[in-house]
Amino acid sequence: MPLKSFLTSRNTSQRFRLNGVIPSSRLPNKAQLRQNFRSHVIYRADQLPPKVDFRSDMTPVEDQSQIGSCVANAFAGAYEYLTKKANGQNTDVSRLFIYYNARARDQSSEQVTDSGCTLTGAIEALEELGTCLESLWPYDISQVNSRPNDQSYQEASQHKITEALQVNINLDEMKACLAQGFPFTFGLKLYGSFDQAATTGVVPMPDTNETERSSHGSHALLAVGYSDQSNAFIVRNSWGENWGDQGYCYIPYQYMTDSNLCFDIWTVRQLAINSFGQENWHSDDTIDYSRSMDNNSYYGNIHRDRAMIENFDDNDDYDNSGNNYSNYGSNYDYDRNNTFDDPWNSPPAFQDFDQSRNDESFQGNFPDPDYNQFQQNNDFCTYLNKKKHSIHRISSF
């Protein structure tokens, strides 16, 4: 049985599940699911605002508990945001439905296991099968390896993504994606020091000593903004609202633009549009989120070892009694029946795909020749020191 990894706090003994994201070894099969975001950039670097923040339009942060569903949680958050932007409706989609079908795409065995999934598998499942409401297939982790019921699949068939776009590990390109109104899902290699964000929300940059001697894990998250004042991306986690800054954290630009640490960036879409406008732009970027780290001596280097990454030969019998797992629940503070709108509006069918958007050439893709600076950083990430290509994509339903 494969080992399961957890980030364990030495202070509280609380565990947070890791390694739910598997680096992708291939691109999606369909052309509309492997587009390059660089072909859709509409803002030059000097046109980007100092801050973008989607948090006011996001649904409440949820908790994945001890199963490896971080990819599904990230995509569910992106889908709920995009649905609200498209038609003003609040929705709560089934994370377990997404997680099960992503694994069914990835895994060769007939019986899926709680061993994580790739972003490619999740994207293909969302385009082929869609997603249903969480009320139809609830987040009951004892059912993590169970096939959703037929009613769930019938409902999900009406709510599919249409496009997925690759975003390169390049600061200006990543910021442009957010400035155009699209969150992106990504994988991150993390260390014990990541636990420092549990109370402040501020993620430290792993130092050389830590990366050379420490064990590590991988985790999927959703970028929902950035702040130039803080030199950080605003990121939605899936460890509940009691973690970090109400479920969010701030990850340094330097961390997320390191191709040895960040991988597989995708954005997905429901509608074939390149921008949701500028309503989430902020000209006032005076808050430095990183200062809570600098001004708190508790988070000096001596405390980088206050958490550790542990591996357990764990089975899939999820009895949470006696274990200090992250398990804050769904964290919804309102009545699901009254807050979430139903029925949904079905997204329009995908229109003609322009094959030229898959052209690997950077030239002519941007409104200004200077934007071809992106080419300097158009590298595939090397992950876990293996010479494997992982395509960086962003997801939008």
Render pLDDT for 53-77 as a digit per residue (tens, 0 to 9).
999 999 999 999 999 999 999 999 9
Cα–Cα distance, 218 to 386 (Å, whole number): 14
Whether residue 321 lies inside any domain: the answer is no
Mean pLDDT of the region 226-238: 98
In this prediction, residue 264 has a pLDDT band, given cuts at 50, 70 and 90, of: very high
Query: In this structure, are residues 18 and 190 in contact, taking their beta carbons and an 8 Å threshold?
Result: yes
Q: pLDDT of 4-57, one tens digit each?
A: 999 998 878 889 999 999 999 999 999 999 999 999 999 999 999 999 999 999
In this prediction, residue 285 has a pLDDT band, given cuts at 50, 70 and 90, of: confident
- Give the CA distances from residue 340 to residues 88, 202, 337, in Å, rounded to whole numbers and listed in that order: 10, 31, 6
Question: What pLDDT score was predicted for residue 314?
Answer: 63
Most confident of 171-175, 300-304, 387-391: 171-175
Whether residue 357 lies inside any domain: the answer is no
Torsional sign, CA 190, 7, 267, 165? positive
Q: What is the CATH number of the domain that holds 45?
A: 3.90.70.10
Question: What pLDDT score was predicted for residue 367?
Answer: 36
Whether residue 397 is predicted with pLDDT greater than 80 in this model: the reply is: no
Question: Please, what is the average pLDDT of the chain?
Answer: 80
Find the domain containing 238 and state its range: 23-313+341-349+364-396
Out of 62-66, 69-73, 284-288, 389-393, pick the least confident.
389-393
Whether residue 15 lies inside any domain: the answer is no
Whether residue 267 lies inside any domain: the answer is yes
Share of the chain above pLDDT 90, in %: 60
Q: pLDDT of 99-122, one tens digit each?
A: 999 999 998 778 899 999 999 999
Question: What pLDDT score was predicted for residue 301?
Answer: 47
Whether residue 160 lies inside any domain: the answer is yes
Question: What pLDDT score was predicted for residue 40?
Answer: 96
In this prediction, residue 279 has a pLDDT band, given cuts at 50, 70 and 90, of: confident
As to burial, measured by CB atoms within 10 angstroms (0-12 exposed, 13-18 middle, 19+ buried), residue 155 is: buried
Mean pLDDT of the region 308-330: 57
Question: What pLDDT score was predicted for residue 305?
Answer: 59
In this prediction, residue 284 has a pLDDT band, given cuts at 50, 70 and 90, of: confident
Share of the chain above pLDDT 70, in %: 74
Whether residue 319 lies inside any domain: the answer is no
Question: 318-324 long-range CB contacts below 8 Å, 24 or more apart?
Answer: 318/65, 318/66, 318/67, 318/141, 318/142, 318/144, 320/65, 320/66, 323/15, 323/66, 324/12, 324/13, 324/14, 324/15
Tokens encoding 118? 């790739």
Question: What pLDDT score was predicted for residue 108?
Answer: 79
Mean pLDDT of the region 221-244: 98
Question: What pLDDT score was predicted for residue 371?
Answer: 34
What is the DSSP secondary structure assignment for residue 221, as one 8-state letter?
A: E
Question: What pLDDT score was predicted for residue 16?
Answer: 96
The pTM is what? 0.79
Whether residue 319 is predicted with pLDDT greater than 80 in this model: the reply is: no
Whether residue 383 is predicted with pLDDT greater than 60 in this model: the reply is: no
How many separate domains does the chain show?
1
Whether residue 304 lies inside any domain: the answer is yes
Whether residue 16 lies inside any domain: the answer is no
Torsional sign, CA 305, 314, 187, 52? negative
Cα–Cα distance, 98 to 154 (Å, whole number): 14
Residue 136 CB partners (closer than 8 Å, separation 6+): 94, 97, 148, 149, 151, 152, 155
